[in-house]
Chain A
C-alpha cells in the first residue's frame, strides 16, 4: 500500500476560478426546490395536527394487556424487570386467593424517565402481558408524574389497532406459521 508523506491540495479548475458559474448553478438548485416546495413539501409535517407514520413497530409508551374480565394478564414473573437494561421496572407480586390462579402484580411501575424504550421487556414477557404503543409524546411536570403505575399502563381487552406499537409478533404482517414450521423441523438440537 502506498502511503504518501506529502499532501497535494486540490487545484481549482477554470470553472471554479470564475466564481459565478457555480453560484448560478447553486441558485438554480435552490429556486427549483423553492417551486417544488410551494406545490407540496414532501418532508415537512405540520405536527401535532399531522403525525408521521412510524409503522406498526414503534417502541413507545407501554401497555399492560388484560384478560376479557378486565384483570391483568401479567403473572408477576419478574422477567421483564430482569431483562430491562435500564432497571426501570418495579414489580410487587401477590398470591391470588384462589390457588389455581397464578400470581398477580399489586404494584407495577415503570419509570418513564429512566426507560430507554429498547423493547427488551416485550421480548422477555412469556405471557404477552406487556406490549408497547406508538405514543411518543410524553412530558411531565415532576419526576413523580413520570412513574407510570398499573392504572396508567392498563388498557381494555381490545386495544385499538391504531395504538399498537412494538409487540412480540405482528399478526398484520404475518405470513408463515412458526409453530407449524417448528413441528415439521422436529425437536431443537441442544
Chain B
C-alpha cells in the first residue's frame, strides 16, 4: 500500500487514472478524483477495514487549477494502518460526496469544512455552519479571507435548531416541550447550547449548537511564525495545556527531522503524564459535582493545585504554560525538579485513594451512572471516538502502546479497559489511568534526569543561550535572524499525533517553506466525541444528559478552536 496501489483498486476500471499515489510523504497518501471519492472511500472501509475516520479537513491552494483539497485521515483498527486520501476540487465545482453514511464522524467534520472553506458535501443531512455564526459571510480559512474582518449577528439570523431524528408524536401522557440549556449554564461546562425536545422528563431528540468560543486558532496560526504558535496551542485544551504544546512541537520537529536530547524527552514525558493526571482530575471532579458529590472535587483540585505549582516553577505560568519550544525547552528544568516530582508522588496517591473510598463503590453514584449513555465499542469507533471514552467501551487502543513515541515503549504501564461504555466506566477508566500515569512518572523519576542539554543544538531553530548572545557575534546574528525572519520548515505536510488526555490529538501541518505555517489543522479528540452527544442522550432524562456531558470531558477551547 505504501509503494503501489492494492490490487482491488488497479483491477477496477472505474478507478483507472483516477486514483494516484503520492510519494515522499509521512503516511501513505492517495490522490483521488472527486467523481469516485465516495465509491473509493466505501471500498476502503470494506476492503481495507479502515473503520475510523480520524479527521476530515480542507486545504486551500489559491494558485492551483483545482483550488481545494479535501483531506481524509483514516485509521484501521484491525491492521493498525493509517491512510490519507486527498480529493482535489475546483472553486466553481466545489462539491464532494458526503461520507456520513459510512462514518458518522464525518457529520461535524464535513460541516466544519463547509463552514471554513465553502466545500459542499452532497448528501449531507444538514449542511450548516458549525463554528461561525449564521450571519457570517464568506469562509474564513480561505487564503483570500482577511483575518481582521468582523461580522455582526443579526437578530433574525440566530441559529434555529434542526431535529433530524424526531419520532412522530404519539398519544403520550406528556405534551412535547422544547427547552434550551446553555450556552451560559453551569451544567454545560463551557459554552455549549443544547436544545432538547422533552416528553415529560425524557429527551426525545436534541440539537447542539457550538462555536461560542471559536477564535479561529487555525487562521491565527497562519499569520504567526512557527515558534509563536506555541502560546496559541496552550488555549486548545486548557486543562492539559502542556500536552498540546508537545503535540505541536513534536509534529514540527518531525518535519524538521530534529532529534531531541534525552533530557528534553524525559522532561516532556514527566510533565505530559502529570498534565494527563490533571486533566482527568478536572473531568472526574466536575462530573461528580454534577451529581452532587462535592467533597471529592476539593481533593481532586488539591492534586491539580500541586501540579500547577510544579509547572509554575518550571515555566512560570499555571494554566497557559507555553512550556515547550520547537526543539526542546526554552530553559533548563529547575534544579529541584526531581524533589518536586517526588513530593507529588507522595501526596497524590493518598488523595486518589480517598476519592476511591468516597465514591467508586458508593451506591448513589453507581445508581446515577451505571448504564447511562452506553455506547458499544463498534459504534464509538464509527463516531470517531478515541482515548479514555473509547477504552471505556472495551477497545484497547492507546497510542502510547499501539504506536509508541518518545520512551513509552521503555516504561512499564497498562492500558485500563472497561466494557460498560457508560458514564461509570468512563469515570473508572480515568481513575485507573491516573494510577498508570503515576506509575510512569515514578519510573522516570527513579531513572533520574538524564545529563546533557535541554534543547537541540541547532541555532536555526532554537535561540542560542543568552550568555552567548551577549558575548559572541555569531550567536547574536543567529538570534537576530531567528527573531526577525523566523525559522523555516521544509515544504511538505505531516500528520503528527499523540495520546492527549482526551484521545488522539492530531496536528495536520502543511508547510510551504515560508516563516509561517501554511495550514494547521488540529484534530481535537473531543470534537467527534461531542458530535455523538445528541445520539447518546436520546431517550434519557435531562439529569442524565448533564452527567453524560461531564463524563465525556468536552473542553470548549479544543472543540471550537
Contacts and interface: CB of A to CB of B under 8 A. Distances in A.
Nearest to B232: A85
Contacts of B91: none
Given A4-B419, A52-B309, A57 B466 contact: no
Interface stretch (B123-131, B205-213, B312-320, B406-414): B312-320
Given A29-B354, A116-B320, A57 B376 contact: no
B93 interface: no
B395 A82 contact: no
Contact of B376 (A7, A26, A59): A7
Interface residues of A, number: 60
A83 B487 CA distance: 12
Contacts of A175: 335
B433 interface: no
Contact of B479 (A2, A59, A126, A190): A126
Contacts of A13: 361
B10 interface: no
B317 A59 contact: yes
B138 interface: no
Contacts of B418: 10
A9 B395 contact: no
A182 interface: yes
Contacts of A7: 374-376, 393-394, 419-422
Nearest to B359: A26
Interface in B224-242: 224, 227-232
A169 B361 contact: no
A13 B361 CA distance: 9
Interface in A32-51: 33, 42-43
Contacts of A105: none
B374 A9 contact: yes
Interface in B346-394: 354, 357-359, 361-363, 366, 370-371, 374-379, 381, 393-394
Interface stretch (B162-170, B470-478, B502-510): B470-478
B319 to A, nearest CB: 10
A58 interface: yes
Specify which of A26, A33, A188 lies most central, judged by the most chain B CB atoms within 10 Å of its CB. A26
Contact of A26 (B224, B320, B362, B425): B362
A54 B302 contact: no
A5 B302 CA distance: 39
Interface in A114-173: 116-120, 123-124, 126, 128, 132, 165-166, 168-170, 173
B121 to A, nearest CB: 27
Interface residues on B, range: 35 or more
Specify which of B230, B396, B465 lies most central, judged by the most chain A CB atoms within 10 Å of its CB. B465
B330 interface: yes
Contact of B378 (A5, A165, A179): A5
B322 interface: yes
Contacts of A54: 309, 312-313, 316
B177 interface: no
A65 B428 CA distance: 52
Given A3-B77, A132-B316, A178 B378 contact: no
A4 B470 contact: no
A123 B363 CA distance: 54
Nearest to A53: B309
B378 A3 contact: yes
Contact of B316 (A6, A166, A168, A178): A166
A55 B313 contact: yes
Given A22-B361, A119-B322, A83 B316 contact: no
A132 B322 CA distance: 15
Interface in B169-190: none
Contact of A16 (B322, B363, B474): B363
B313 A57 contact: yes
A83 B322 contact: no
B334 A3 contact: no
B366 A9 contact: no
Interface string B440-471: 00000000000000000101100111111111
Given A4-B378, A79-B483, A126-B469, A187 B357 contact: no
Given A7-B374, A120-B227, A182-B465, 14 more contacts: A2-B396, A7-B394, A7-B419, A9-B370, A17-B363, A26-B357, A57-B312, A57-B314, A57-B316, A85-B232, A169-B467, A173-B335, A178-B465, A190-B460
Closest 9 CB pairs of A and B: A55-B313, A59-B316, A168-B466, A7-B421, A57-B316, A4-B394, A5-B378, A85-B228, A118-B231
Interface of B: 51, 77-78, 224, 227-232, 295, 299, 302, 305, 309, 312-317, 320, 322, 330-331, 334-335, 354, 357-359, 361-363, 366, 370-371, 374-379, 381, 393-397, 418-422, 424-425, 428, 457, 459-460, 463-472, 474-476, 478-480, 483-484
9 contacts: A1-B77, A3-B378, A12-B363, A57-B316, A58-B312, A118-B231, A120-B228, A170-B331, A188-B459
